[in-house]
Amino acid sequence: MLDDRSYMRSEYGARRARPPLTTVLICINVAVFLLQTIYEGNELSRHVFVHSTFALSLEGLKGLQIWQLLTYQFMHASLLHLIFNCVGLYFAGRFLEVLLGRTAFLTLYFAGGIAGGILQVVAGFIPAVGQSGVVGASACVMALLGAICFQLWGQRFQLLLMFIPLTLTGKSLFILFLIFDGLGILMPQGQMAHYAHLGGLLTGYFFMRNDFKHLIPEFNFEGFMKREGTAGRPARASRFEARKVKNPAPRAADSEDFISSEVDPILDKISAHGIHSLTDRERAILEKAQKSMSKR
């Protein structure tokens, strides 16, 4: 019956076997950094081999090492570099994965990394930038932040910046990112890939503006955060939150026929496209199924 099915007990209303992509990406980044650290050790030759093969560079792309556009996203130059990116991925990723759905979220993440990497490599023709290899998930994270800025363009929210609480809108945060990376480009210091950051940020912004704006309803950031559990997932109590409709499905909500023909396709739709893609009728069906399950 309905309560015997594993995906009805999962956090997202989808199959338990599919963990949040945000968590998966963080784990991959940490695992790759550990492997990178263990393999390189103190040997310069190993360090050179890893970076020439997997870090993103103009020479690598000229040599048709196209995989570098993907592999560089999971490499990091230091533990601090890794921590900053994973923290940004956690807070931005849990927001967007629920909002967009798994497929769109993953597309946005890798599109930002690829676009940011290409822009950084092209900028390498500028003498002040140079042609050093690029590593890190920063462009991917900036794409997520650019998408959030667009979605919360006129909404106010609080953000801790160097332990100082600031009240911002998506627009003001987007402008701050532009100023930060713009200054980094004009007055370069250190090895920070500002062009990659900028490419990721703009990718996220235009990704939302051109492709998904019409699919995503008005979103209340504060309401979302209140419903979030400590792990950044939707609270169980609001999993099937829905508006009532006048004519819900007439069949018994706990019948196998109802589950297979009505509930299963809706759960698959949530898994593929996110809960925002549901119609009023589909939300009401899930609510009815949940109530029937709780009474048994």
Please give the average pLDDT of every successive group of 10 residues along the chain, which has 296 residues: 44 58 96 91 82 87 91 93 94 90 92 94 72 87 95 86 80 93 82 90 92 56 51 37 43 61 77 69 76 62
Is the model's pTM score more than 0.85? Answer: no
- pLDDT value at position 237? 37
| Same structural domain, 148 and 276 | no
**Full residue range of the structural domain in which residue 268 is found:** 239-295
Provide DSSP, 182-210.
HHHHHS--TT--HHHHHHHHHHHHHHIII
CA nearest neighbour of 223 among 120, 149, 143, 152: 152
Q: To 5 degrees, how large is the angle CA 14–CA 237–CA 19? A: 30
| Same structural domain, 199 and 273 | no
Rg of the chain (C-alpha set): 22
Residue 149 contacts residue 170 (beta carbons within 8 Å) = yes
**Domain count of the fold of the chain:** 2
| Same structural domain, 103 and 215 | yes
Cα distance between residue 251 and residue 112, in whole Å: 45
Q: For 145-166, how does the pLDDT look when each residue is reduced to its tens digit (9 = 90+)?
A: 999 999 999 988 887 776 778 8
| Same structural domain, 164 and 110 | yes
The residue from 203, 225, 247 where one domain ends is 225
| Same structural domain, 42 and 182 | yes
- Any domain includes 15: no
Using CA atoms, how far residue 258 sits from 199, 271, 296, in Å, is 47, 19, 16
**Among all chains, which residue has been given the structure tokens 């048994």?**
296
| Same structural domain, 263 and 218 | no
Cα distance between residue 76 and residue 18, in whole Å: 26
